[in-house]
Structure 1
Amino acid sequence: MNSKPLLSIVSSARATGTARAIAARRVAAALVFGVSAAVLASAPVQAASITSLVKSVKFDDDKGVASDLGTGLDPNALDEQGNPLLVLAAREKSDKVAALLLDNPKTKIDAEDRAGENALMLAALNGDLDLVKLLITKGAQVNKTGWTPLHYAAANGNDDIAKLLLGYSAQVDALSPNGTTPLMMAARGDHMSTAKLLLDSGANINAKNQIGLNALDFAKQYKAPDAIKGLSARMAQSGGQSDNAAAPQNGAK
């Protein structure tokens, strides 16, 4: 005879029956939505694996990333903020992980985060010349609609990267959604050496954004002394007209 109290046996039977009923409903729901019970059961493990993968990306742990991808995880997976792994690697300057991801044929090199930023843009912003070179070599788009890698390089005065991008036919007067050019971004940050590089490459000093501001206006608004002095002298030299008086190259909105 079973030594367990009757109440315990009844409770256990009920619990077992309830567990079986719940399991049956999960399987039924999975079948209705075309998802196998095995996939349903593995969901928490998958979530945990993505968390581990994102952590490895942030710490530039290429071996950890390789191990996680080896289990079948997507190299284009997103973190909780919607950042593709390659974009996250560029943001964190995790160059070893970025190189690993770029060697994976499934990786989408121009994938964007929720703000429309891609890996090349963030590498240009961070001054990560080696990663910029690698991304371009792997086929990253130098020009894109809206904000471009050249805007981002100019914003932080990363001259070497701006020069590299221009060498790969970056549009010197690319327009952001509000009509801002890379020259305006250089002026805003008081990066006169970058501004000179852009002007020498044909940037239109008289170009205006949607609210009618040109690069010199940006320099004045953001109290950028070197840019104010340099752009004022450049405009005086040209009699108020840029060396490239034609309409700016567009190709972007």
Structure 2
Amino acid sequence: MNARLQTILRRLSALVVPLALFFSMQTGAQAGSYDDFFTAIIRDNATTISDLLRRGFDPNTPNAHGDKGLLLALQLESDRVFFALLQSPQVDVNAHNARGETPLMLAAIKGNLPAVQALLARGADVNQPGWAPLHYAVSGGTPQHAQIVALLLEHSAYIDAASPNGSTPLMLAARYGSDAIVQLLLQEGADPTLKNQQSLTARDFALGAEREHTAALIAAALRPRPPGQTAAERRGW
């Protein structure tokens, strides 16, 4: 073996350990960032999240269960982290969890109006096949839920969206939501005559939950309307 070749081999050998150490450090750093990311979500530590994002950490990294940061932050009510993640242009505002829920759906069911407003501003999908954000929003009974319902309708949410079993937002509101939401849906044109796959109407949903007053509201919407009466007059405007 000539001297030149021996020199090259010695230099290559000298590089093996530093390169191995470099890749080991990189792998360790990535693992550390991963743990830091999800710990920060649990602790609602927005400072750590912002620092990781500045260093190039992917905000759409899933955890071991496939859940992404934006969804976890909403689920855990880590609001500071949620808004820190939403600052990233790369964050997927329409990410789905294992149950097919989006950030907008989780924000809606929790009555988190600021989160709903922020997601809509980022172009979150209001309509999707199957369960939709409006189904989730009408299932709550707080004034914030009613505001979210109105906001989703303003953003062209389909008012008679059918769930996988054909249930509409009005049906869910009749069983779980407030009377204010039921009235809002009826005023905005929700169809109280629709039936789901079990042949149940919104009124049936209300009666099944022993909500007689809600059932009466829906029954009133089913009565024949006087000829020539405008929609605004029917609503008392």
User: Structure 2 length normalisation: TM-score?
Assistant: 0.78
Tell me the matched-pair count.
Answer: 207
From the superposition, tell whether residues 216 and 109 of structure 1 become closer, same or farther in structure 2 (CA, over 3 Å).
same
In structure 1, what is the equivalent of residue 3 of structure 2?
Answer: none
Query: 1:89-124 deviations in whole A, cap 9, x for unaligned?
Result: 222232322222222111111001010101111111
CA distance in 2, matches of 1:113, 1:152: 15
Letter in 2 for 1:208: K
In structure 1, what is the equivalent of residue 155 of structure 2?
Answer: 168
Which of the pair has the greater relative contact order for Cα pairs under 8 Å at 6+ separation?
A: 1
Out of 204, 221, 237, which is 2:208 matched to?
Answer: 221
Q: Tell me if structure 2 keeps the 8 A contact 1:90–1:122.
A: yes
Say if 2:86 is the partner of 1:99: no
List gaps (5 residues or longer) in structure 1: 1-26, 28-35, 245-253
1:65-214 to 2 correspondence within 5 Å? 65-157=49-141, 158-214=145-201
In structure 2, what is the equivalent of residue 7 of structure 1?
Answer: none
User: Structure 1 length normalisation: TM-score?
Assistant: 0.74
Letter in 1 for 2:148: I
List gaps (5 residues or longer) in structure 2: 1-15, 232-237
Q: Tell me if structure 1 keeps the 8 A contact 2:175–2:205.
A: yes
Q: Indicate the SS of the match to 2:138.
A: helix
Q: Tell me if structure 1 keeps the 8 A contact 2:186–2:221.
A: no
Q: CA deviation at 1:132?
A: 0.5
1:235-250 to 2 correspondence within 5 Å? 235-236=222-223
Q: Indicate the SS of the match to 2:160.
A: coil
Divergent runs of 4+, >3 A: 36-48, 236-239
Stretch moving more, 213-222 or 110-119? 213-222
Query: 1:134-184 deviations in whole A, cap 9, x for unaligned?
Result: 110111111111111111000113100000110111110011111111101
Q: Tell me if structure 2 keeps the 8 A contact 1:190–1:227.
A: no
CA distance in 2, matches of 1:230, 1:90: 33
Letter in 1 for 2:108: A
From the superposition, tell whether residues 151 and 38 of structure 1 become closer, same or farther in structure 2 (CA, over 3 Å).
farther
Query: 1:17-76 deviations in whole A, cap 9, x for unaligned?
Result: xxxxxxxxxx9xxxxxxxx99657754653443232112123321101112333432100
